[in-house]
Amino acid sequence: MDQNETLSGTNNAQGDQNNQSMESLLASESFGIDLPKAGEIRKGTIASISQNQILISIGAKSEGVVAGKELEQLTEEERSALQVGQELDVFVIIPEDNNGNVVLSLKRAFEQIAWENVEKMITDETVFDTKIIGFNKGGIIAAIGALRGFIPSSQISAARRAQSTGDKPEQRYQKMVGQPISVRIVEVDRERRRLILSERAASTESRSELKERVISELEEGKTYTGRVTSLADFGAFVNINGADGLVHLSEISWDHVTHPKEVLEVGQEVNVKVINIDREKRRIGLSIRALQDDPWRDRMEKFSVGQLVEGAITRLTKFGAFARLEGDIEGLIHISELSENRVEHPKEVLHEGDVKTLRIIRIDPDQHRIGLSLRKVDSAAFADKDFKMLTQGFDQPDEES
């Protein structure tokens, strides 16, 4: 090999090393960057403000931009309040567009944070001081942060209603616009952008003192009659003797309920059972379903531990398989109960749609769970029970004898 070839090989090796070093450096730099994701809320700092766009630093490889229709959605008041260097929350719409920019929205960040705030306020029963900004034929509208809340005419205080006269909404409510008002949130439905407020609920006497007294008088396990005061995604609030308790979504019914509005409405009278009282946090846990018959227990009366049953395989997971029994009861075959041999995944033994003979090995009525076994179907430990079940139908006395 001549000297030129040696130098060429050396240069190529150094070039490869340099390329590898540069790739490693780029990879390490990219790894350290917290890249934005669509739909997330991030903290940012305003880098510049112009007539056509706002640049915001969010710690990504390039600055995010608020422009076009996202900029047009801001009111003059909101735009004038923005300053270079100001830290604020932004909503990521597109992590990277065709020009390499992160597309952001301030309005959507304001709204999402506002929805989170009102959901917390309904839980804490917060009274909010605001002003009336409009009206429609059914009542008046008030601002709650970046959101607009509706106060039905039935939820306007008696004193304010006494000031309104006339048959048309303009005659009744126009003069109220701009007036201060104290309200309490009684219903939040973010999906439908529905925010219902009540002036009457906010103006009740010494709510804190009243709740303290009621909590001291309530007893866990007892049943009370109350009235639904507000609805939220996570449950319904029911007033008992002047204090609100929460019926969590899971405690409304034994049937699946996606939102309380499916079975309850504000003002409805209901019977509830007190299942928890947190006197330190002044919270009352209630249940409606605890006063109803558990349909699961009724359907389970025909089943017992050790019994052989037919089950249709509905789902396969890494930890086992689910099977549907008669009466739409679903049980779990743990992976350890599929075979006497080691099984890495249920798909080695079963397929969705298979109908198998299974043995019930566990029933947990409190958790609504049934444990099933495939490997114990022919177990000698259950031979006596199987024989009794098999001969049960032949032991009946003859009616004519």
Mean pLDDT of 65-88: 87
How wide is the angle at C-alpha 159 spanned by C-alphas 184 and 200, nearest 5°?
Answer: 20
Instruction: Collect all residues with Cβ–Cβ distance below 8 Å to 348 and sequence separation of at least 6.
Output: none
Do residues 282 and 357 both lie within one domain?
no
CA 316 – CA 322 distance, rounded (Å): 7
Amino acid 267: pLDDT: 83
Do residues 190 and 220 both lie within one domain?
no
Check whether 12 has a pLDDT greater than 60: no
* Total structural domains within the chain: 4
The answer to whether position 305 is within a domain reads yes
Amino acid 321: pLDDT: 92
Amino acid 307: pLDDT: 87
Mean pLDDT of 119-145: 87
Do residues 302 and 383 both lie within one domain?
yes
Do residues 214 and 247 both lie within one domain?
yes
Amino acid 348: pLDDT: 92
145: left (phi over 0), alpha (psi -120 to 50) or beta: left
How far CA 376 is from CA of 71, 351, 365, 371, in Å, comes to 66, 19, 22, 12
Do residues 78 and 145 both lie within one domain?
no
Domain of 66, CATH number, reads 2.40.50.140
The answer to whether position 284 is within a domain reads yes
Amino acid 190: pLDDT: 84
Give alpha helix (H) positions in 86-177: 106-124, 158-163, 169-173
Read off the DSSP letter of residue 41. E
Q: Which helix (H) or strand (E) holds 316?
A: strand 308-317
Q: What is the mean pLDDT of the chain?
A: 82
The answer to whether position 398 is within a domain reads no
Instruction: Collect all residues with Cβ–Cβ distance below 8 Å to 147 and sequence separation of at least 6.
Output: 111, 114, 115, 118, 195
Check whether 295 has a pLDDT greater than 80: no
Give the pairing of strands 308-317 and 243-248.
unpaired
Give the pairing of strands 330-334 and 308-317.
unpaired
Nearest Cα residue to 201 out of 109, 255, 128, 305? 128
Mean pLDDT of 149-171: 80
The answer to whether position 349 is within a domain reads yes
How far CA 218 is from CA of 34, 224, 278, 279, in Å, comes to 50, 9, 11, 11
Do residues 305 and 273 both lie within one domain?
no
Among the candidates 235, 262, 291, a domain finishes at: 291
Within 41-85, strands assigned E span 41-49, 53-57, 64-67
Check whether 26 has a pLDDT greater than 50: no
Of residues 269 and 34, more confidently modeled: 269
Mean pLDDT of 133-157: 90
Do residues 302 and 366 both lie within one domain?
yes
Split at pLDDT 50, 70, 90, the class of 262 is very high
Do residues 242 and 278 both lie within one domain?
yes
- Helix-strand-coil split of the chain, %, nearest 5: 30, 35, 35
Cβ 94 vs Cβ 37: under 8 Å: no
Do residues 384 and 349 both lie within one domain?
yes
Give alpha helix (H) positions in 166-256: 169-173, 199-202, 207-217
The answer to whether position 6 is within a domain reads no
User: Would you state the structure tokens that stand for residue 343, as one six-digit string?
Assistant: 């099984």
Q: What are phi and psi of 165, to 5 degrees?
A: -135, 160
Split at pLDDT 50, 70, 90, the class of 274 is very high
Q: Which helix (H) or strand (E) holds 3?
A: helix 3-31
How wide is the angle at C-alpha 53 spanned by C-alphas 50 and 56, nearest 5°?
Answer: 100
Nearest Cα residue to 227 out of 209, 206, 208, 200? 200
Do residues 300 and 388 both lie within one domain?
yes
Do residues 91 and 148 both lie within one domain?
no
pTM of the model: 0.42
Residue whose structure tokens are 């931009």: 65
The answer to whether position 129 is within a domain reads yes
Cβ 369 vs Cβ 360: under 8 Å: no
pLDDT in tens, 199-240: 888 865 455 666 777 888 888 999 999 888 888 889 999 988
User: Lowest mean pLDDT: which of 95-104, 245-254, 315-324?
Assistant: 95-104
Residue whose structure tokens are 């003859």: 398
The answer to whether position 316 is within a domain reads yes
Check whether 397 has a pLDDT greater than 50: no
Among the candidates 177, 202, 227, a domain finishes at: 202
Amino acid 196: pLDDT: 92
How far CA 188 is from CA of 84, 116, 117, 135, 385, in Å, comes to 35, 10, 11, 19, 54
Amino acid 288: pLDDT: 94
Among the candidates 186, 202, 218, a domain finishes at: 202
C-alpha of 151 from chain center: 25
The answer to whether position 242 is within a domain reads yes
Mean pLDDT of 357-376: 88
389-393 long-range contacts, Cβ below 8 Å, gap at least 24? 389/307, 389/308
CA-based max dimension of the chain: 116
Of residues 158 and 253, more confidently modeled: 253
Split at pLDDT 50, 70, 90, the class of 157 is confident
Structural domain range at position 49: 41-111
User: Would you state the structure tokens that stand for residue 288, as one six-digit string?
Assistant: 């409606």
Amino acid 301: pLDDT: 79
Check whether 37 has a pLDDT greater than 90: no
User: Which three-class secondary structure state does DSSP give residue 139?
Assistant: strand
Give 194's strand partners: 189
Do residues 274 and 318 both lie within one domain?
no
